[in-house]
């Protein structure tokens, strides 16, 4: 009986240590990309929602992403999406799932609540697997690959519904970014039609 109790206790301690380690890695990754001045990076996305590439600037929960098809601004509450092909700006208040589908770094706002985490090590990277603990979560699973040395995320793979999307991230650099970069400025797009979807 003592042996069984010891084995169960050891298994529970290992599971707890693994979860704490996954959380610690995510905490360090979040700290690396939430610098007060901001960060910029290149990204490439692929999956069932289509393929594209571009650049993204992040400062806390705010982001500004540019692709050949669109430019997106998010100031922490409101999102503006400028579609180049029809010179139109859609204004919305996005959901958590919508933000994650656009911003590969949004995992930093998700992992602390509503997800279980496990940690694996592969070569020069950590791979954190997040699994939703609630059916209400639109994003059911995430795999986040994080460089062991810099704690910079290099890939985010997420499952939304039954569809996987993959974001490959490169050239992450800290950079001073003014708050104005995260809000749409109508003066820069004088001919664009603005459609408020809020």
Please determine, for residue 177, whether its predicted confidence score (pLDDT) is greater than 50.
Answer: yes
What tokens were used for 46? 């692929």
SS (H, E, C) 162-191: CEEEEEEEEEEEECCCCHHHHCCCHHHCCC
Q: Pick from 38, 27, 47: which is nearest to 102 by CA? A: 47
DSSP string, 123-142: TTEEEEEEEESSTT-SEEEE
Model confidence pLDDT, tens digit, residues 153-164 = 999 998 888 889
Model confidence pLDDT, tens digit, residues 60-104 = 888 999 999 999 999 989 999 999 999 999 999 988 777 767 776
Proportion of the chain above pLDDT 70, given as a percent: 87
Rounded to 5 degrees, φ, ψ at 44 are: -135, 130
Q: Where are the domains of the chain?
A: 22-196
Q: On the CB side of 113, how many CA atoms lie within 13 Å of its CA?
A: 3
pLDDT at 128: 95
Domain topology for 22-196 = outer membrane lipoprotein receptor (LolB), chain A (2.50.20)
196 vs 31: which has the higher pLDDT:
196
Whole-structure pTM value: 0.77
Residue 48: CB atoms within 10 Å:
10
Of the candidate ranges 30-34, 70-74, 97-101, 133-137, the one whose mean pLDDT is the lowest: 97-101
């Amino acid at each position: 009986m003592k042996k069984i109790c010891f084995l169960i206790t050891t298994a529970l301690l290992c599971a707890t240590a693994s979860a704490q380690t996954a959380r610690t890695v995510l905490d360090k990754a979040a700290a690396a990309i939430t610098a007060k001045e901001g960060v910029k990076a290149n990204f490439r996305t692929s999956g069932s929602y289509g393929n594209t590439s571009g650049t993204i600037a992040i400062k806390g929960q705010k982001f500004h992403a540019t692709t050949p098809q669109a430019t997106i601004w998010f100031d922490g509450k409101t999102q503006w999406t400028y579609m180049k092909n029809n010179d139109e700006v859609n204004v919305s208040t996005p959901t958590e799932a919508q933000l994650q589908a656009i911003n590969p770094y949004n995992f930093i706002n998700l992992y602390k609540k509503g997800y279980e985490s496990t940690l694996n090590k592969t070569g020069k990277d950590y791979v954190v697997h997040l699994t939703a603990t609630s059916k209400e979560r639109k994003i059911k699973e995430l795999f986040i690959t994080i460089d062991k040395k810099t704690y910079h995320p290099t890939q985010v793979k997420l499952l939304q519904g039954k569809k996987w999307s993959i974001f490959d991230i490169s050239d992450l650099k800290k950079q001073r970014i003014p708050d104005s970069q995260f809000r749409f400025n109508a003066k820069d797009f004088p001919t664009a039609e603005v459609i408020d979807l809020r």
